[in-house]
Structure 1
Amino acid sequence: MNIIIKKQVFTLHPYGSLYWKDRNILLISDLHLGKISHFRKNGFAIPNSAIPKNFEKLNELLDLYQPQKIIFLGDLFHSTLNSEWYYFDNWVQLISQKIILIEGNHDIVAKQFYENLHVEVVERLQIDDFLLTHHPMETDNLFNFCGHIHPRVVLSGLGKQYLKIPCYFRKPNQLILPAFGEFTGNYTLKPSTNDKVYVLTPNEVIEVNLV
């Protein structure tokens, strides 16, 4: 699905990425690498095959869009270093794209590790009329792309049936990206009159009206 923001074209993907066509930039939020290994270490029965799934999805997107740059909108790595860092290290060395990480609250890995991989780490980033952050930030003149919330909405049906579905949550001057990583969890948001919601399905992104 394509949307227009400030005369720029952006593509929403069912994996939760945002492709900025005019700038050839791929935006991804809340990958939370290392979280699966952290849970497995603490006795949770999560299959080991879930770890490479994140990188398979990333590679699919790189093949699809051929972006010049990848910008992670925070919480790239879940906490302290564990075995999943080596998956990331290997992946970075295999791709050609420049990588920028906007720091999130979970990004506590020492910057030296990112510097060794030529990954640029910043607190926030402004490109044209757009402000890229991890936490949602209200601004007067800039449109904010952010993450952190892991947004989802509740779709209700007949017979008290309902579905909780991850989504892109758009306010008049902001777009909150869904969490990209496997096993990240989500937080339910309720849209107001001027908000737009784009839900993720296995094969497409669909705009839904919940107001």
Structure 2
Amino acid sequence: MTQIEIRNNHFDLLTQKAIFWQEKRTLLIGDLHLGKITHFRKEGIAVPQIAAENNFERLDELADNTKASRIIFLGDLFHNKYNAEWEMFSAWRAKYHFIEMIIVIGNHDVLPVSLFLENNIDVYKNDFEEDHFIFTHHPKVELDPSKFVFAGHVHPVFTSYGKGRQSFRLPCFVVDKCQAILPSFGVFTGGFGVNLIAGRKIYMLTEERVFVVG
């Protein structure tokens, strides 16, 4: 875990590919893409079912370890049309009925809004804003310097090069002056390579640690 400070608020960057907002006891989670693994399996692609279970194991870890009172999903919670993974998610949500949950709709969230509402999840079709922080799915191109944006969608990964031809490519948090992009939480969701530019910090993560490279 690595903590960063933004606008006098403290945010923990977690190895489970999520952020914990200390002052609000709020978890930020982007791009679970639940349902994708079950869809692959139905199409005959050999993705082990244990991969779907891994998503829920990490969700349990986050809820139990942080004692969060709220979770904000930054879009693409469910990747596809209704399948058995939605029932798994509904059961998981019922287990944490005492946690407030919010979703900002992403481009892959094609399920009826009624399903989210039935599971006691507040739905925002665009942005959710609180205390000069904006929570959204797509990163903003035009940024208001008086506000700070948390977004998903991109699935950022960064490639670090060592001596010789050694390199490794890992998911990362991208933190710019007025915007942070979270890595994709879900398993088997791919990644988009990002670059280190002026004023940007990149936090690569493994299962054991988070470390800054810029």
Q: TM-score, normalised by structure 1?
A: 0.97
2:157 partner SS: strand
Segments of structure 1 that go 5 or more residues without pairing to the other structure are: none
Counterpart for residue 128 of structure 1 = 131
1:46 partner SS: coil
Counterpart for residue 148 of structure 1 = 153
Counterpart for residue 87 of structure 2 = 86
Q: Distance in 1 between matches of 2:27 and 2:47?
A: 28
Which aligned pairs between 1:48-197 and structure 2 lie closer than 5 A?
A: 48-95=49-96, 96-122=98-124, 123-137=126-140, 138-140=142-144, 141-197=146-202
Counterpart for residue 7 of structure 1 = 8
Counterpart for residue 21 of structure 2 = 20
Residue deviations 1:19-72, cap 9 Å, x none? 000011100000000010011111111111111111110011111111111000
Alpha-carbon shift at residue 159 of structure 1 (Å) = 2.2
CA RMSD of aligned residues (A): 0.8
Q: Distance in 2 between matches of 1:89 and 1:190?
A: 37
Counterpart for residue 36 of structure 2 = 35
Alpha-carbon shift at residue 161 of structure 1 (Å) = 1.6
1:160 partner SS: coil
Residue deviations 1:80-131, cap 9 Å, x none? 1111000001011111201101000000100111111111110211110111
Q: Distance in 1 between matches of 2:117 and 2:177?
A: 36
1:168 partner SS: strand
Q: Distance in 2 between matches of 1:182 and 1:131?
A: 26
Q: Distance in 1 between matches of 2:163 and 2:46?
A: 34
Deviating runs (4+, > 6 A) in structure 1?
none
Alpha-carbon shift at residue 147 of structure 1 (Å) = 0.3
Q: Distance in 1 between matches of 2:56 and 2:69?
A: 18
Aligned letter for 2:111?
Answer: V
Counterpart for residue 211 of structure 2 = 206
Q: TM-score, normalised by structure 2?
A: 0.96
Segments of structure 2 that go 5 or more residues without pairing to the other structure are: none
Q: Distance in 2 between matches of 1:201 and 1:91?
A: 25
Q: Distance in 2 between matches of 1:161 and 1:43?
A: 35
Q: Distance in 1 between matches of 2:46 and 2:12?
A: 35
Give the count of matched residue pairs.
209
